[in-house]
Amino acid sequence: MAGRNTIVAVDLGSSEIKALVCGFDEDNARITVRGYHKGESLYIDEKGRITDVNSLALSLGTVIHEACNIAGVSSPCVVCGLPITDINQYHSTGPISIPPEKGAPGQVKREHIRQAIETAQNIRYPGDHEIIDILVEDYIIDNSKRVQNPLDMPGSRLDVNLLICSAPSSSIMVVRKCIEKAGFFCEDIFLNPIAAGTVAVSSYAREKGCVHIDMGASLTTFSVYQKGSIIYMGSVPEGGKFVTSDLLAAYRVPSSYNTLSAVDMLKKRYNKLKIDKANEEIVLQSVSGQAEASLTREQFVTVMVDRLDEIFEEVDNDIKKNRLLEEVDEVILSGGTARFAGITELCRKRFGKPVSVATPWVTGDDMMAEINVPEFVTAYGLANYYYLGDERSKAFRSYENEGGTLRNVIRDIFGKFKRG
């Protein structure tokens, strides 16, 4: 297992930086949240890319320090998330044969699993990328039997199907640099949707097949799960900020920091997607407090619904294009934009599947109510993914108890990828 030290999980979102100080309670095998803080995100663009390392490091430092003060912790390590905008995904297969033993069918040994994974990881990826995660989609024995862990199973052939993700080395480096400039040690960097999924998506939903959609401010990211594993991730470059700017356009008011903030507040206050008082006026006040413009509730709701439905439609189209919808049994939402009242009904209309909204489900005192909201799923997921340690990827689960740390095994395997 990775060290169960105190860590700060940092979600560098395009609207907010969120920091969660977490520890691990060994007795109850549960993550404990000791403090949190969030701050406005000014130096991250709509694709989740950092635009000013030094300025971001300053604001990041403030957010992490504040969270640490609340938690009464000093100099913790940081784990941080990366959006999937610039990543490459590779599906790769590693078949190997298992020799018979004394005339009887052979048995899968750790060495066979290692060989299959090594064969599957024989891919080429761009020279300016690094492998950031490897997920096992399937182990298959004798071309037919799908198993979770093939260790000690009888058979003559083992196949492993991997989903390998590479990310630009520069994106990874710049995140690391920001954290170091902020005065902290960067322990690890994970992909946001993979980490968030460990919190938002139950094992049941993974096994049955589902899509997890994280609806942020500028980005909507989705992961399709089938037979227990992520098989595809995608993103739509739209989110809650687009709802806000559509509303601003409907008010016909010039766009500025003040008008956008005022409309964003109205959006959160009147976030019901159902038109119950169609003619009620929703007034946008100017900074001086005077009425500036108004929309009827009907107009207001229509603008929000149109944009949100467009986002769902784009996700739906991408999933359909990749022929993945048939096996998807439910939809799980997270992210701040999943806070709209009535979002599950709207999403259900588009996908025709049951929809739920995930939160971190942290138990504890009053502070927990503030982080048990859909926009904290990614930060909590990053902490959870970190504490999963060796269990993080099923690819490496089978190496348990083999001696030596799994991190070294992972590093070995990652090191063997070819850059092409």
Ligand X SMILES: Nc1ncnc2c1ncn2[C@@H]1O[C@H](COP(=O)(O)OP(=O)(O)OP(=O)(O)O)[C@@H](O)[C@H]1O
> Does the protein bind ligand X through residue 48 (CB under 6 A)?
yes
Query: Which tokens is 303 given?
Result: 């603008």
Pick what 116 binds: Mg ion, ligand X, none; C-beta below 5 to 8 Å, kind-dependent: none
User: What are residue 243's phi and psi, to 5 degrees?
Assistant: -65, -45
> Does the protein bind Mg ion through residue 155 (CB under 5 A)?
no
Minimum CB–partner distance for residue 240 and ligand X (Å): 2
Cβ-based nearer residue to ligand X, 158 or 347? 347
Cβ-based nearer residue to ligand X, 159 or 264? 264
**What are the beta bridge partners of residue 162?**
92, 136
> Site for ligand X (CB under 6 A): which residue of 271, 384, 393, 398?
271
In whole angstroms, what is the distance from residue 416 CA to residue 254 CA? 54
In whole angstroms, what is the distance from residue 219 CA to residue 87 CA? 14
**What are the beta bridge partners of residue 293?**
284
Determine the residue type at 288. S
> Does the protein bind Mg ion through residue 13 (CB under 5 A)?
yes
Q: How far is CA 263 from the centre of its chain?
A: 27
Cβ-based nearer residue to ligand X, 234 or 336? 336
> Does the protein bind ligand X through residue 339 (CB under 6 A)?
yes
> Site for ligand X (CB under 6 A): which residue of 335, 346, 347, 394?
335
Query: Which tokens is 263 given?
Result: 């409309």
> Does the protein bind ligand X through residue 36 (CB under 6 A)?
no
Determine the residue type at 87. I
Show the CA angle centred on residue 304, arms to residues 358 and 297, nearest 5°.
120
SS3 334: strand
Cβ-based nearer residue to ligand X, 133 or 375? 375
> Site for ligand X (CB under 6 A): which residue of 76, 94, 209, 216?
216
Cβ-based nearer residue to ligand X, 139 or 340? 340
CB atoms within 10 A of CB 79: 25
- Widest pairwise Cα distance in the chain: 89
Q: Are 214 and 193 in contact (CB under 8 A)?
A: yes
Minimum CB–partner distance for residue 49 and ligand X (Å): 10
> Site for ligand X (CB under 6 A): which residue of 2, 57, 217, 324?
217
Pick what 264 binds: ligand X, Mg ion, none; C-beta below 5 to 8 Å, kind-dependent: ligand X
Pick what 340 binds: ligand X, Mg ion, none; C-beta below 5 to 8 Å, kind-dependent: ligand X
**Applying CB under 5 A, which part among 211-219, 274-282, 296-304, 410-418 lies near Mg ion?**
211-219
Q: What does the buried/exposed string (b/e) look like for 218-234 if buried means 16 or more CB atoms within 10 Å of the residue's CB?
A: bbbbbbbbbebbbbbbb
In whole angstroms, what is the distance from residue 259 CA to residue 287 CA? 8
> Does the protein bind ligand X through residue 15 (CB under 6 A)?
yes
Minimum CB–partner distance for residue 13 and Mg ion (Å): 4
> Does the protein bind ligand X through residue 85 (CB under 6 A)?
no
> Does the protein bind Mg ion through residue 197 (CB under 5 A)?
no
In whole angstroms, what is the distance from residue 107 CA to residue 157 CA? 10
Q: 214 to 253, contacts with Mg ion by CB under 5 A?
A: 216
**152 Cβ partners below 8 Å, 6+ apart?**
107, 108, 109
> Does the protein bind ligand X through residue 241 (CB under 6 A)?
yes
Cα pseudo-dihedral 151, 91, 381, 218, rounded to 10: -170
Residue with smallest beta-carbon separation from Mg ion: 216
> Does the protein bind ligand X through residue 381 (CB under 6 A)?
no
Q: Which residues bind ligand X (CB under 6 A)?
A: 13-16, 41, 48, 216-219, 239-241, 264, 267-268, 271, 335-337, 339-340, 375
Q: Which residues bind Mg ion (CB under 5 A)?
A: 13, 216
